[in-house]
Amino acid sequence: MKKSLRLILTTIASGVILLGCGGGGGSSSSSTSGSSTTYSSSGSVGEVLNFNVNTTVSPPTYSYTIVKSAYGLTNATGSGTLSSNADGSYTPSGSPNSKVFALSNGLLIGGVKLTIGGTPTAVPIVGVSSPVTTLSALAGTYNYISTSCTANANGYPTYPNCGTSYGTLKVLANGTFTQCTTTNITTSPSCSTTTGAISNASNGIWEYVRAGSANKNYLLAFAAPNGQNVMVIDYNDPGGYGYGHAVASTQPTTNFVSGDGDGSWVIHANNNSSGVTTISGTSFSTLNNGGGTNSGTLTLNNPWIGFVRAAGLTDTGYAILAGTGVYAYRSNTTGNPYYEIGILKR
């Protein structure tokens, strides 16, 4: 988080640094020496993939297959080894500046490199091993933070057609949805920036289609232990949502209070940086892999319930806390497409 975001997402917390976006259902087999788990995953550039982490072997390994692609990468595969770090994360051999976290609640978060348009590209990713498979379970009101580009772009900020956003999303049990940009649909029920429909694509992967468009976006969801849903929406919608993804969490019914975000958060950003942010009350401090530091303050339930405004040394932004251990953050600075996802260290 560019300086202030790290605290926030508490729900996706399972992270692995991965690569693309996952497709397919998640399955897991475990032994006394480790586990092999496949995650349905979404990447911030608009890819869906199946990502496997195998800790039953030494050294641990990862592998992936892209199942939905905006860049002609469908069925592309990759693999490598994972090096253990002192903080409990792994570093993938194919992306040495990244970290991978595989948490016990069945989620992944991190970043990896995919070759897009001939260019190695850092891609933050979120994955789930046991995705939600019914529309009734998806129904609810969500806060979201998103990142997208208006064209198939690769890389970070050098592309002026890329940016971030935030807002709310309401999903009904019949599969229809309303998405509101920069507006809380709970207090402004007439808000309707876009509408559309959700339908089953395959086990645990949902098509998320904007009204008036034939382009298929893809949605994954996970039920966190605290009862909140965490959703990841993979955008592949030129002329609409663009190319990228959104992280969403069930909007809480009670306000955050000081201490709700306390702990150390491992983060990965769309500029291929990673680090650790420590939260205490309404203060945070960050140390990134390059040795840089940042600190600042947090304003809870701003701009509305479920969000946190983070003000660092050089930037401000919004973040969401989701479930029991994940966050997402975006910069509020005009023209800055900085976007970050992270998980709570266990």
Distances (CA, A) of 294 to 16, 99, 229, 312, 316: 24, 20, 31, 7, 12
Tell me the per-residue pLDDT of 118-137, one tens digit each, with 9 for 90 and over.
888 877 777 888 889 999 99
Rounded to an integer, the average pLDDT of 83-99 is 82
CB 317 within 8 A of CB 331: yes
Please report where in the chains the tokens 């979201």 appear, as a residue: 144
pLDDT higher than threshold 70 for residue 8: no
Most confidently modeled of 52-66, 85-99, 317-331? Answer: 52-66
Other CB atoms closer than 10 Å to residue 227's CB: what's the count?
Answer: 10
Does position 73 have pLDDT exceeding 90, yes or no? no
Contact 296, 329 (CB under 8 A): no
Calculate what percentage of the chain has a pLDDT beyond 90: 37
Q: Give this prediction's pTM.
A: 0.79
pLDDT at 49: 84
Q: What is the pLDDT of residue 61?
A: 94
On the question of pLDDT at 38 being above 70, the answer is yes
DSSP 8-state code for residue 184: -
Cβ proximity of 316 and 5 under 8 Å:
no
**In this predicted structure, which of 6-15, 37-46, 178-187 has the lowest mean pLDDT?**
6-15
The whole-number pLDDT of residue 179 equals 97
Distance CA 322, CA 219 (A): 16
Mean predicted lDDT score pLDDT of the chain: 81
Query: What is the domain partition of the chain in residue ranges?
Result: 28-128, 135-250, 263-344
pLDDT digits (tens, 9 = 90+) for 244-293: 888 899 999 999 999 888 888 878 787 767 788 899 999 999 888 767 88
At residue 154 the predicted structure's pLDDT band, cuts being 50, 70 and 90, is low
pLDDT in tens, 286-313: 888 767 888 999 999 999 999 999 999 8
More confident residue, 186 or 234: 186
User: What string of DSSP letters covers 60-86?
Assistant: -EEEEEEEEESSS-TT-EEEEEEEE-T
Confidence at residue 21, expressed as pLDDT on a 0 to 100 scale: 25
Task: Judge contact between 47 and 126, C-beta under 8 A.
Answer: no
What is the Cα–Cα distance from 122 to 271, expressed in whole angstroms?
Answer: 7
Distance CA 219, CA 210 (A): 12
pLDDT at 332 over 60: yes
In angstroms, rounded to a whole number, what is the distance separating the alpha carbons of residues 308 and 7?
9
Q: How confident is the model at residue 158 (pLDDT cuts 50, 70, 90)?
A: very low
Q: Tell me, which fold does domain 135-250 have in CATH?
A: Lipocalin (2.40.128)
Give tens-digit pLDDT for 191-244.
Answer: 999 999 999 987 788 999 999 999 999 998 988 877 889 888 988 898 899 888
pLDDT at 10 over 50: no
